[in-house]
């Protein structure tokens, strides 16, 4: 089975699923998914998970994400982005010094209320479907983390920022909240995802380039399964231990260089066999399989 991650630089105007569909057709891989949606107006890094790599999505989603965002001050939209209807305007724009001060207050753990125009569920229905009917419901705020927020170019009413954030952060909501904090309102005018964990958009393949490539050249861009979680320590096991893990059984692990609760990549014959959790048991450590992978290949 063809498995691994293909990094795509998504263009503007396509949904994330549009990209999945094109990659699925180009590589003839039915089992394909992505690790983190980008709205159609947004561009940048999209992680396409192929074959057994679709099992990696729960481990990839929590990775920090970095964006370049352009917000427009003095104009609010109902969707908090350029696709929406303008609902409020202001000609009173802040001095750049106030902008830097306000942005600094959003760094760290913050409370954010997801927008109505989002794919979150409310009583079994997507919020954006409720919003399109002109209805609103109470959306509970949640904690997200802004690891870094750097204000770059300021060319009022436009402000360019670089944001590194946790899973679940809405950059358009960050822009809207920052606009409210400044007293002038704002919406997200443009967005480009620069990184997901260790993966960078510079490593991504443009869709038009992908269409021109075929065979070995395209397959060579697929990151092998065993290299898709570089943040996890890799441990090699033998055939007997590998069989135990495939059966869902734990195996003892000698030494004390691992910490209970840590997750590791378990390799067998050079391929990713499992993601396992380290557990403390009596006088030893054990590896308990969290997700087991089948036989894979990065070639068709």
The answer to whether residue 35 is domain-embedded is yes
Same domain, 253 and 154: no
CATH number for the domain spanning 188: value is 3.30.2350.10
* pLDDT score at 229: 94
> pLDDT exceeding 70 applies to what percent of the chain?
90
For residue 244, the enclosing domain spans 232-292
Same domain, 178 and 277: no
The answer to whether residue 214 is domain-embedded is yes
Same domain, 106 and 121: yes
Name, of 45-59, 216-230, 249-263, the range with top average pLDDT: 45-59
Residue 298 has pLDDT above 50, yes or no: no
Count of CB atoms within 10 A of residue 96's CB? 12
The answer to whether residue 74 is domain-embedded is yes
The answer to whether residue 300 is domain-embedded is no
Same domain, 69 and 190: yes
Same domain, 56 and 69: no
- Please confirm, yes or no, whether 9 is among the known catalytic residues: no
The answer to whether residue 190 is domain-embedded is yes
DSSP H helical segments within the chain, as ranges? 16-27, 57-60, 96-104, 127-132, 171-182, 207-212, 216-219, 239-246
Strand order in the sheet with 233-236: 233-236, 263-268, 271-281, 284-292, 251-253
* pLDDT score at 170: 94
Same domain, 156 and 252: no
Q: How confident is the model at residue 120 (pLDDT cuts 50, 70, 90)?
A: low
Mean pLDDT of the chain: 89
Q: Identify the weakest region by mean pLDDT among 60-69, 80-89, 202-211, 261-270.
A: 202-211
Q: Summarize the confidence of residues 203-224 as an average pLDDT.
A: 80
Same domain, 72 and 169: yes
Same domain, 183 and 34: no
Same domain, 76 and 103: yes
CATH number for the domain spanning 283: value is 2.30.130.10
Q: Which one from 9, 18, 39, 177 is the annotated catalytic residue?
A: 39
Same domain, 37 and 118: no
The answer to whether residue 211 is domain-embedded is yes
Same domain, 172 and 123: yes
Same domain, 93 and 182: yes
The answer to whether residue 44 is domain-embedded is yes
Higher pLDDT, 44 or 37: 44
The answer to whether residue 297 is domain-embedded is no
pLDDT in tens, 70-80: 999 999 999 99
> pLDDT exceeding 90 applies to what percent of the chain?
71
Query: 76 exposed, middle or buried (CB, 10 Å; 0-12, 13-18, 19+)?
Result: buried
Per the structure, the count of domains in the chain is 3
């Amino acid at each position: 089975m063809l498995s691994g991650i293909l990094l795509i630089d998504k263009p503007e105007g396509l949904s994330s699923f549009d990209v999945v569909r094109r990659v699925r057709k180009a590589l003839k891989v039915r089992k394909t998914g992505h690790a983190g949606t980008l709205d159609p107006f947004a561009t940048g890094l999209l992680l396409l998970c192929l074959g057994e790599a679709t099992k990696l999505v729960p481990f990839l989603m929590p990775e920090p994400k970095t964006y370049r965002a352009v917000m427009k001050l003095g104009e609010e939209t109902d969707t908090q982005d350029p696709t929406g209807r303008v609902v409020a305007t202001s000609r009173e724009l802040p001095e750049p010094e106030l902008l830097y001060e306000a942005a600094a207050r959003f760094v760290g753990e913050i409370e954010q209320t997801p927008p109505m125009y989002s794919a979150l569920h409310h009583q079994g229905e997507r919020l954006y479907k409720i919003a399109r009917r002109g209805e609103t419901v109470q959306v509970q705020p949640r904690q997200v983390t802004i690891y870094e927020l750097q204000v770059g170019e300021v060319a009022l009413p436009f402000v360019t920022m670089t944001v590194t954030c946790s899973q679940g952060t809405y950059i358009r909501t960050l822009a809207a909240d920052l606009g409210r904090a400044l007293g002038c309102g704002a919406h997200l005018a443009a967005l480009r995802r620069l990184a997901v964990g260790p993966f960078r958009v510079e490593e991504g393949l443009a869709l038009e380039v992908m269409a021109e490539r075929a065979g070995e050249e395209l397959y060579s861009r697929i990151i092998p399964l065993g290299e898709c979680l570089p943040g996890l320590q890799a441990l090699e096991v033998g055939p007997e231990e590998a069989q135990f893990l495939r059966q869902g059984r734990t195996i003892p692990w000698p030494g004390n260089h691992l910490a209970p609760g840590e997750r590791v990549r378990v390799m067998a014959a050079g391929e990713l066999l499992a993601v396992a959790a380290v557990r403390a048991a009596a006088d030893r450590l054990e590896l308990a399989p969290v997700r087991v992978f089948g036989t894979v290949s990065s070639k068709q």
